Amino acid sequence: MHSLRSDSLWHGCLLNLPLTRRSSGRGLAVPPSFVARQQPSEEATLDIRVDDVRSQEVIELIREHLESMAPTAPPESRHALDLDGLRGPDVTLWAMWDGAELAGIGALKRLSQTHAEIKSMKTAKPYLRRGVASRLLSHMMHEAKSRGYSRLSLETGSMEYFQPARALYASFGFAPCAPFGDYLEDPNSVFMTIYIDEVSA
C-alpha cells in the first residue's frame, strides 16, 4: 500500500538489499540504484502497466485490501483509498501481471506539482515473498521522477504488523517525516518521505 495501510501488506516481500549513503542536505539513505531493482528475475517476467481500476481482478484485490485493513486501526486512522478514490484524476494505479494472473498493485496520488503520495500497495497472496512489492515500488519511483516529482511520501501503520512495510520503504531510502498533506499527527500512523531527485539512477 491514501497511504495505505496497504503499504504494510507487503509482508515477506523485502529483498534486504544493501543501502549506500551519500551526502545530501536532507541526510537520506538511498539505494545504490533503483533501476536495477526494476528488472524482472530470470524465473518470471512480470508486466507492469497502468490500470483504469475497472478489471475484475484489480477490483477484487482492492476490496481484499480494504477488508484486511479494517481490523488494524480505528476508522479515523485508516486512509486507504476506495474504488472511487483510486479512479480519481489525481491518482494513477499500476497493476503487475504474470500473464493473466494479477500479482500486485500500487498507486501514486498527486499532491502538488512536485510532491506525490504512494497509495494502495498490495500483493496478491500467491505472489507474496517474490519481490513484487520491491518491483512495483521501483517502477513507481521511476514514473514519479519522469513526471517531474521531486518528493514522494507515504503513510503506513505504526504497529508491529506494519514493520515489514516500513523496512521495505527504508530500504529504498524513505525516512520518517512529519505529517504531510491533510494528515494529522496520529499514534497509529508513521509518515515517511524521500526526495527522489537525490536518488542516483
Q: What is the CATH number of the domain that holds 16?
A: 3.40.630.30
Query: Which percentage of the chain shows pLDDT scores above 70?
Result: 75
Predicted TM-score (pTM) of this structure: 0.76
- Domain residues for 182? 5-198
Domain total of the chain:
1
Residue-wise DSSP of 101-114: EEEEEEEEEE-SSS
**If phi over 0 gives left and psi between -120 and 50 gives alpha, with beta otherwise, what is residue 53?**
left
pLDDT tier for residue 26 given thresholds of 50, 70 and 90: very low
Could you report the per-residue pLDDT of 144-188, keeping only the tens digit for each?
999 999 999 999 989 888 888 999 999 999 999 999 999 999 999
Summary mean pLDDT of the chain: 81
